[in-house]
Amino acid sequence: MYCKYKDFELVFEIQLSDLSLGYILSRYEFYKKHGIYLIWVLDNFDIHNQGTLEKDIKYLTKYENFFKLDENSDTFKVICDYKFPFLTEDNKLLTKWLNNSVSLNQIKFDSESYQVYYYNFGNIKCEIEVEQKRRIEEVEITNRNKKLELKLARAKNKASNIIDEIKLLRTRKSLSFDSVIEKIRELDNTELRIFNNELNLKKRDKTKKPALLQWIYNATQADVYFLEFILSVTEIELDVNEKDSNGKSALTEIYDNKKIVKEIPIESLFKRGYIFTEVDKNYIATLPYRQVEHANNIILYSICNNLSNKELVDFVFRNSKLLFIIESAKLKEIIGFNYKETEWIAFANNAIHHYSEYWEYIEIAFKHFGLWDKLIELDKKETFQRKVQTFYSKMPQQKFDFDEVFQELYPELAV
């Protein structure tokens, strides 16, 4: 049955008997070729018990709409059976068949495929799938947030327990913080961030003394182990260069504390990245006691400043005399030893005798900085030259644990 509706040409194929798929396709292609929209009208059609014909027609069109005449309508209408997609409460995508009596003005025309439809199953299904995905992602985000909240709560609880343990060990003047160090180093990145937030050593009231300076100020010798713990555990966020409102540094605070042995916390301070300043230098230089020791320490601390790898601070402090030998050659004055300025031969003899395992480094420094020729000139009794000959005749085993420090501090001497 052919008709025109508005600008559309329509053909209703009222089908009462089964047709082959080939015939159905040929009819569709014929009408499409001539710009005519084909509507199959199926009379005895059971949507829940589809035969071969119905299935062939359904899969011919992407809209999956079936039409039959609405014999109960006073005007021309067709009953459209269409597949309706929907989401269940548990977000499953299901479909069910619905129908509606529709007039021609409710039908839509696909000018590309020359198909008509009342309900666009494909598009609506895509929209429902997008909504389904959104719900899945929403559930996943909710679950992730719950897991994160639980993790943060556990991390905060773990941080509080560690901080309480630190406080207890400090109160008891414990000699070992190994148990709490192990717990800190087992923290993951999130737990460590929360631990430092709870510890709160970097964010503070600027009107108050920094925590490190306050701890040093109050420290007795029994608190040195706590200070060593705080400074040595790099996972603890701490600004060792922070000063109080009067410009006082952690180093000068240590020097002012007469109740503690200074070497341990000072070494840990430099390992943690402390920067020795001119203010520190002038402060130490003007102290009225042990001026020779302080002068040596100023050189030692200046050496530490020149290390990019602060792990080498340990070697510097343990081998300060070896470094003073090289610095003496570099500065052309004897430092760190109780020799007069004219006693270069005694100084050199002491170096080759007591530091023979590092003599290769010392000799390189002596020759590079011009001390070697001076020693030969001053060595009237040839005591130094005999010691050198004896050294090379026996050639004691050389140590090379100084190599990394040597290359960092004296790159001009490194071979």
User: pLDDT per residue over 280-318, tens digit each?
Assistant: 999 999 998 888 899 999 999 999 999 999 999 999 999
Buried b (16+ CB within 10 A) or exposed e, 54-70: bebbbebbebbbbbbeb
* CA distance linking residue 266 with residue 250, whole number of Å: 9
pLDDT at 59: 53
pLDDT tens digits along 218-230: 999 999 999 999 9
Residues of the chain falling short of pLDDT 70: 16-17, 21, 43-60, 203-205, 415
Look at residue 302 in the predicted model and tell me its pLDDT: 95
Q: How far apart are the first and last CA of the chain?
A: 102
pLDDT for residue 128: 96
Half-sphere exposure of 213 toward its Cβ, with a 13 Å CA cutoff?
A: 22
In this prediction, residue 51 carries a pLDDT of 57
Six-digit token string for 290 = 């042990």
Eight-class DSSP state of 105: G
Q: What's the CA dihedral at 337, 338, 340, 343 to 10 degrees?
A: -70
Averaged pLDDT of the chain:
91
Residues near 213 by beta carbon (within 8 Å), at least 6 away in sequence? 242, 243, 244, 248, 249, 250, 253
Q: Give the number of other Cβ atoms within 10 Å of residue 299's Cβ.
A: 18
Q: Which two tokens stand for residue 322?
A: 């070896």
Which pLDDT score, from 0 to 100, does residue 207 have? 73
Looking at residue 48, its pLDDT comes to 62
Whole-angstrom distance, CA of residue 180 vs CA of residue 158? 11
Query: Locate tokens 């020791």: which residue?
Result: 293
Distances (CA, A) of 411 to 39, 65, 174, 273, 398: 91, 85, 42, 21, 20
